[in-house]
């Protein structure tokens, strides 16, 4: 019987990471009516009516309760894209008790992770083109480390723990940025808009697998939430829909096709979004959960019948660490051990796969007399078992 470690938890085809940038203590009254309208909040309004969270929860999370969301938190005052134009309200995450309570409630949820997204996100310019993303503002690695450590301390003061992962603001960085991430203790990081690699004719091969830089797990971004499905007719007259149509005609690329490709190759489906469409230069910030809401509903409806694992950034990174720390060593046809390169994960669960046409009642894995039942998949049986140095027996 061929048994192996599952690439993903529960033997899923792919993990799904719903990632939302720029959670911040910020509100911008775009229409200047003195109240928060849908799309204006970046997090400051907490759970109140028309807040970012209220909109997201009503339209997505309450409909698909298995979804897990990773928010990328700007811990300081989020820089305006225009240096001469301020947001209606903008403070650091310690700036109001209501916001502190809100993010602590988020952080206590099993379906939410708060990750790091910079101290300020950058420095505003005279126009949008002159905005400088945060890691591009640092002159050397020491400055990058110092600022990142300052941001991490604010995060800790607000939430009582340090962030495990994060993302470069604007996916922008320089030659020493990666070193600053490695030296400030992050387990995982998002560095690239990886789906853009498909448009680079110079790249014959590109990977959406998890990789590492200087010991940090690099989680790719693989789906643009504003790449609209041609089946979502609400966008029919929009420029984004026209772009999707052209990609379908010229490159035979569709949203559904990209997701199917990720699934077929057991690659991560990481969906990139922003909290708000509102910017101080009055242009729409894409992607964003408000403008893209119909597309997001289509994506999660499409994924509902797929074999996926909804996870946070840290859950994906940790499972990847587990798979790299174990290897199966067969004793005979019905027994094996796990060869451990680290005892860090002893006692924690990992998924094993057995290719077998029998039903889940036919096969068990037994560890020291305790039986672990199988999860039946179309072509395999999956067992969630603890990592131990004991003998594992396959019972038929």
Same domain for 355 and 255? no
Q: Find all residues with CB under 8 Å of 128, minimum gap 6, and list them.
A: 81, 82, 279, 281, 283
Q: Find all residues with CB under 8 Å of 96, minimum gap 6, and list them.
A: 25, 44
* Residues paired with residue 375 on neighbouring β-strands, in sequence order: 382
Q: Nearest-CA neighbor of 3 among 390, 349, 327?
A: 327
The sign of the dihedral angle between the CA atoms of 106, 108, 112, 114 is positive
Same domain for 243 and 375? no
Rounded Cα–Cα distance for residues 137 and 80 (Å): 15
Same domain for 184 and 237? yes
pTM, entire model: 0.95
Same domain for 158 and 236? yes
- 32 DSSP assignment: -
Q: Are 326 and 226 in contact (CB under 8 A)?
A: no
Q: Which residue has the tokens 């600022």?
A: 147
Mean pLDDT, 10 residues at a time, over the chain (396 residues)?
93 98 98 97 98 98 98 98 97 97 98 98 96 97 98 98 98 96 98 78 70 96 96 94 90 92 95 98 96 98 97 98 96 95 95 75 90 91 96 94
Helix/strand/coil percentages in the chain, nearest 5? 30, 25, 45
CA 97, chain centre distance (Å): 27
How confident is the model at residue 287, as a pLDDT? 97
CATH code of the domain in which 290 resides:
3.20.20.370
Same domain for 384 and 278? no
Number of domains in the chain: 2
How confident is the model at residue 33, as a pLDDT? 97
Same domain for 217 and 252? yes
Give the domain range for residue 299.
13-316
What six digits make up the tokens of 71?
């928010």
How confident is the model at residue 201, as a pLDDT? 56
Residue 325 lies in a domain: no
Same domain for 255 and 115? yes
Residue 277 lies in a domain: yes
Residue 326 lies in a domain: no
């Amino acid at each position: 019987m061929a048994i192996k470690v599952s690439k993903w938890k529960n033997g899923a085809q792919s993990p799904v990471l719903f990632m939302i940038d720029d959670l911040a203590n910020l509100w911008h009254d775009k229409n200047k009516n003195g109240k928060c309208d849908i799309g204006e909040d970046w997090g400051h309004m907490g759970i109140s009516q028309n807040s970012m969270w209220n909109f997201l929860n009503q339209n997505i999370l309450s409909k698909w309760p298995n979804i897990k969301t990773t928010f990328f938190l700007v811990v300081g005052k989020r820089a305006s894209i225009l240096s001469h134009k301020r947001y209606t309200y903008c403070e650091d995450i310690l700036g109001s008790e209501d916001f502190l309570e809100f993010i602590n409630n988020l952080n206590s949820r099993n379906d939410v992770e708060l990750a790091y997204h910079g101290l300020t996100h950058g420095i505003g310019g005279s126009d949008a083109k002159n905005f400088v993303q945060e890691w591009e503002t640092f002159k050397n690695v020491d400055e990058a480390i110092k600022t990142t450590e300052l941001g991490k301390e604010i995060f800790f003061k607000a939430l009582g723990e340090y962030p495990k992962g994060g993302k470069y603001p604007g996916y922008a960085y320089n030659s020493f940025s990666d070193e600053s991430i490695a030296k400030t203790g992050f387990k995982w990081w998002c560095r690239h808009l990886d789906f853009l690699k498909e448009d680079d004719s110079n790249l014959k091969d590109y990977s959406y697998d998890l990789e590492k830089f200087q010991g940090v797990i690099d989680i790719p971004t693989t789906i643009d939430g504003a790449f609209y499905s041609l089946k979502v007719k609400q966008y029919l007259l929009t420029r984004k829909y026209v772009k999707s149509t052209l990609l379908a005609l010229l490159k035979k690329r569709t949203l559904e096709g990209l997701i199917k490709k990720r699934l077929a190759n057991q690659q991560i489906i990481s969906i990139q979004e922003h909290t708000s469409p509102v910017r101080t230069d009055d242009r729409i910030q894409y992607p964003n959960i408000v403008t893209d809401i119909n597309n997001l509903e289509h994506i999660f409806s499409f994924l509902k019948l797929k074999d996926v694992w909804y996870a946070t950034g840290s859950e994906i990174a940790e499972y990847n660490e587990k798979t790299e720390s174990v290897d199966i060593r067969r004793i005979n046809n019905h027994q094996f051990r796990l060869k451990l390169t680290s005892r860090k994960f002893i006692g924690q669960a990992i998924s094993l796969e057995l290719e077998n046409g029998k039903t889940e009642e036919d096969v068990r894995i037994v560890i020291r007399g305790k039986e672990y039942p199988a999860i039946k998949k179309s072509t395999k049986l999956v067992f969630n078992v603890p990592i131990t140095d004991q003998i594992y027996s396959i019972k038929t």
